[in-house]
């Protein structure tokens, strides 16, 4: 005589597990989309604030004083090589830096570098000891050679390609604005 095997309980259990996994994946996707949308909005706001600067000094102020608030960062520094001199701008002002160190940093950054660190890049100055996640963005175009350093005290999940594209846009926008102000001097 044949024996009837009940598959209903097993099938129902598998179906519930698959629905739970799909719901979790859906929630992850929604969280990513919300975070990405917020990042896009912040980057656009930062570029617009820089565009509204009425001088090179005003632009530098926006980058190192306002961008941390707009982008939700702990530190922003900008390094430029002009002629045979290197400059670093952060919230404490403008300092001279070794242009050879800046050149070495430029060689190591092709576009955008996102990374977690034990200690931030030296471009952060005294704040480098506090930085645990950083983005280094190379300036492009006809602007002076340079880097933007964005840093946070807490380790952040890195957003890979999407984050790099947004930061690349930020760097290109700043490069164009620096070039505009330098050409007017």
Q: What are phi and psi of 146, to 5 degrees?
A: -175, 175
Quickly tell me which residue has 């989309």 as its tokens.
33
Q: How far is CA 141 from CA 12, 19, 52, 172, 177, in A?
A: 60, 50, 20, 8, 11
In order of their start, the domains of the chain are 26-184 (3.30.450.40)
Q: Could you tell me the mean pLDDT of each successive run of 10 residues in the chain, 185 residues long?
A: 66 73 58 58 91 93 95 93 91 91 89 91 91 92 86 75 81 91 75
For residue 146, list its beta bridge partners.
80
For residue 151, list its beta bridge partners.
75, 134
The per-residue pLDDT for range 99-114, each reduced to its tens digit, is 998 999 889 898 899 9
The per-residue pLDDT for range 109-153, each reduced to its tens digit, is 988 999 999 999 999 998 989 999 999 999 987 768 899 999 999
For residue 153, list its beta bridge partners.
none
């Amino acid at each position: 005589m044949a024996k009837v095997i009940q598959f209903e309980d097993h099938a129902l259990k598998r179906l519930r597990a698959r629905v739970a996994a799909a719901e979790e994946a859906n929630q992850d996707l929604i969280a990513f989309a919300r975070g990405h949308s917020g990042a896009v909005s912040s980057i656009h706001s930062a570029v617009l604030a820089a565009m509204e600067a009425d001088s090179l000094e005003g632009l530098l102020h926006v980058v190192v004083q306002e961008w941390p608030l707009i982008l939700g960062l702990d530190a922003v520094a900008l390094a430029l090589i002009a002629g045979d001199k290197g400059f670093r701008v952060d919230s404490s002002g403008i300092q001279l830096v070794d242009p050879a160190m800046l050149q070495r940093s430029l060689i190591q950054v092709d576009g955008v570098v996102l990374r977690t660190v034990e200690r931030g890049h030296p471009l952060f100055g005294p704040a480098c000891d506090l930085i645990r996640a950083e983005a280094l963005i190379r300036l492009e175009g006809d602007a002076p050679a340079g880097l933007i350093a964005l840093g946070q005290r807490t380790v952040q999940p890195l957003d890979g390609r999407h984050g790099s594209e947004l930061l690349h846009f930020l760097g290109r926008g700043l490069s164009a604005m620096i070039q505009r102000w330098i050409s007017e001097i």
